[in-house]
Structure 1
């Protein structure tokens, strides 16, 4: 409690962000479906959000260095609240898609600011507990946001207003916090060649997992509506997928620490492929059976990402956790741009099973490529492996700052921040000299 109380306001701000994000992420596809948006338009909502999210990860460190953490966080929360209200005022896919990009941009940037504060306040002894608590709170807040939809009708205005209010409330704890302004934010860096040299399996798998996870996260609610599920059943289905995905990471991590992680990844994707194939014909299944299958599907897909990250770090040089994991996050984001649009296009031709046809193809490709790579490279010895740590799955929950909070990144973070502070000091000196000239 001694360590928790100073960061309670920051954790509350983060929880409110994820609460609003969970609500908005499920509300917009459902409302768009009710309004008669095409499947392609609904898929583009996910594509737009992923593009905005990546842009936020890349640009936020520069913005924070110019105007500060508190101003940046306040502006992002305000813009996110405005975007939700504009979704209500202008119900048109041509407006909603760019607004969704703005939401993704603001969400990523605001999350990075909160995470940088938390990382600064955590000590080496408490970093693991803070990281675990942060992950647990965000998962619970996202689930609660989705379940809010069971309290009313998404066809009305209520949930848009609630979402805007929650985003506005999220800036209050940090604005009133006495926590010192943190150090500069971690930069998102991507070196595809280095990642490929370290682990081709990780590069291919993380991109395809991004396609699959984002397609399901964006269009899962649309799928549920098309097969006749109620709003309560849809919210329950999507929430259980998240929760089971978090719980399954515990046994998956234990397995992957004891055997070739590629075998574990192949097993997860193989089971996901089988479940997805069954769900593509789910019109004849009961609601309970569909929800059970979706929950199992979530358990598989939401536990792939940390296995991929752990496998890549097994092969990366010492001291490159942030570089490797950050690059994989950006590749996951690239897949998240492609996935929703691909699934939406196929759903428009083969409703509603097109969603799981796309995920099954992605998972089948991971299985095939991983099995081939297992014949080309020996497994890492257990004693040479990085420790598996449960972590949020991809761009819906992770930013470069989330990775910097990871206990495995402690030494690298200190070196990185030292380099960034030196670069900032050099830039200020150059600017001062230029103004004097």
Structure 2
């Protein structure tokens, strides 16, 4: 049964794999090449800010674009434009071109991912959606990691990796272009109401912004930090990839703990683990490559497992049927944090040195812990029988509102309990 279901969506999974492979390669190539070209850490941080702005804009605008021109044309335009931005980055080796093209790339990446996920949701058998969502998540993680590690096979100072990334973006277009399936259901569009989100769960809104700040800073500048630490190209690629894998693996035990105990306490413990990793990088206590990679794994296990705990906690307090709105709203708040983090970290690294990257991430984790401790005194824990089941999620850098919709369908629809106290007008439009 599952093999038949996977066969029906194999083309879409392949298209998603191409998309994430190219995105992983391009995302790591630019900061490495920027270091070679002598770009400042601040300008490289702005690449991450540009990406986040474009990604958030893509999540907002893609449903309108699909409604206007259709799924296939919109997806083709996204992939083609993403390929063009990669090649433009090769032609114009200056941050003044790279920053806006990185924003366009983020817009295209978000839009293309949403369309693939919409198509996948339509094609997946309803009895196998949960397993297919799990396979989709692992395919995306593997593709991103392989895209980053592919940089170890050549010289990033040349043109080859730019061309390969552009070619793979174009390859991502083919599975949907030749698909004979019917047009998917309309994409999910979430209207954001921050006051309603805050009333539902202040700790979720504050924490997801802090996690966005931390993860955005690390995602944009980890390669720059590792390069300035003296690691080889192979080691830089591994340093950027290990946290992703560790974060994905950590979601299972962290999720199990959050289902059993107060999620806020679990979030505090995980954030404290992140602070330990932050402090180790700031102090420079690890100098051997192996120990640096272990520290990066600990960091990734902490920072990439917090987001799904935050979403689950917010949904614990949400009224029945509003889980998709909550998840989509938190995703946008995460995106706002991802806009702030890279530019702040880049400015700090330019002025104060490479280790100040972890002053930014550590500051975000410290503020998260302090606010969570305050909220522990202000609001009682959710009763055990009213908690929803924890659901591992894709790493937030590749998550869209359509991902949340697909994940909820894989669980058979909303199964939320809890009070509707304070929930406002946040809504989901199927347009």
TM-score by length of 1: 0.93
Cα distance in 1 for partners of 2:42, 2:429 equals 42
Partner of 1:376: 378
Q: Is 1:267 matched with 2:285?
A: no
Per-residue deviation, 1:185: 0.5
Cα distance in 2 for partners of 1:367, 1:139 equals 28
Q: Is 1:74 matched with 2:76?
A: yes
Per-residue deviation, 1:383: 1.2
Q: Is 1:50 matched with 2:62?
A: no
Per-residue deviation, 1:288: 1.4
User: Which deviations, in whole Å up to 9, do the C-alpha atoms of 1:187-243 show, x marking residues without a partner?
Assistant: 032111111111110000000000000100010000000110111001111111100
Cα distance in 2 for partners of 1:241, 1:111 equals 22
Cα distance in 1 for partners of 2:323, 2:126 equals 16
Q: Unaligned regions of 5+ residues in structure 1, if any?
A: 414-418, 425-437
Partner of 1:432: none
Partner of 1:18: 20
Partner of 1:389: 391
Q: Is the 8 A contact 2:122 2:185 kept in 1?
A: yes
Per-residue deviation, 1:124: 3.0
Q: Is the 8 A contact 1:184 1:420 kept in 2?
A: no
Question: Helix, strand or coil for the counterpart of 1:188?
Answer: strand
- Identify the match of residue 255 of structure 1 among 257, 267, 274: 257
Per-residue deviation, 1:407: 3.1
Cα distance in 2 for partners of 1:317, 1:393 equals 26
Q: Is the 8 A contact 1:14 1:138 kept in 2?
A: yes
Cα distance in 2 for partners of 1:113, 1:151 equals 31
User: Which deviations, in whole Å up to 9, do the C-alpha atoms of 1:264-311 show, x marking residues without a partner?
Assistant: 100011110111011023286111111110111001000000000000
User: Which deviations, in whole Å up to 9, do the C-alpha atoms of 1:337-366 show, x marking residues without a partner?
Assistant: 000001111111221111000000000000
User: Which deviations, in whole Å up to 9, do the C-alpha atoms of 1:356-402 show, x marking residues without a partner?
Assistant: 000000000000000110011111111110100100232x1100100
Of stretches 120-129 and 206-215 in structure 1, the one that deviates more from structure 2 is: 120-129
Partner of 2:422: none
Partner of 1:289: 291
Cα distance in 1 for partners of 2:391, 2:341 equals 26
Cα distance change, pair 379–391 in 1 and its aligned pair in 2 (3 A): same
Aligned residues: 416
Partner of 2:338: 336
Partner of 1:106: 108
Partner of 1:227: 229
Cα distance in 2 for partners of 1:231, 1:125 equals 44
Q: Is the 8 A contact 1:208 1:335 kept in 2?
A: yes
Structure 2 matches for 1:153-172, cutoff 5 A?
153-172=155-174
User: Which deviations, in whole Å up to 9, do the C-alpha atoms of 1:155-209 show, x marking residues without a partner?
Assistant: 1111001001100111011111122110110003211111111111000000000
Q: Is the 8 A contact 1:39 1:345 kept in 2?
A: yes
Question: Helix, strand or coil for the counterpart of 2:185?
Answer: coil
Cα distance in 1 for partners of 2:236, 2:385 equals 44
Per-residue deviation, 1:40: 0.9
Q: Is the 8 A contact 1:29 1:222 kept in 2?
A: yes
Q: Unaligned regions of 5+ residues in structure 2, if any?
A: 416-427
Q: Is 1:404 matched with 2:387?
A: no
Cα distance change, pair 313–284 in 1 and its aligned pair in 2 (3 A): closer
Structure 2 matches for 1:281-320, cutoff 5 A?
281-282=283-284, 285-320=287-322
Cα distance in 1 for partners of 2:39, 2:238 equals 23
Q: Is the 8 A contact 1:404 1:410 kept in 2?
A: no
- Identify the match of residue 85 of structure 1 among 74, 84, 87: 87
Cα distance in 2 for partners of 1:385, 1:68 equals 39
TM-score by length of 2: 0.94
Cα distance change, pair 343–128 in 1 and its aligned pair in 2 (3 A): same
Question: Helix, strand or coil for the counterpart of 2:191?
Answer: coil
Q: Is the 8 A contact 1:39 1:344 kept in 2?
A: yes
Cα distance in 1 for partners of 2:398, 2:169 equals 16
- Identify the match of residue 242 of structure 1 among 234, 241, 244: 244
Per-residue deviation, 1:122: 2.2
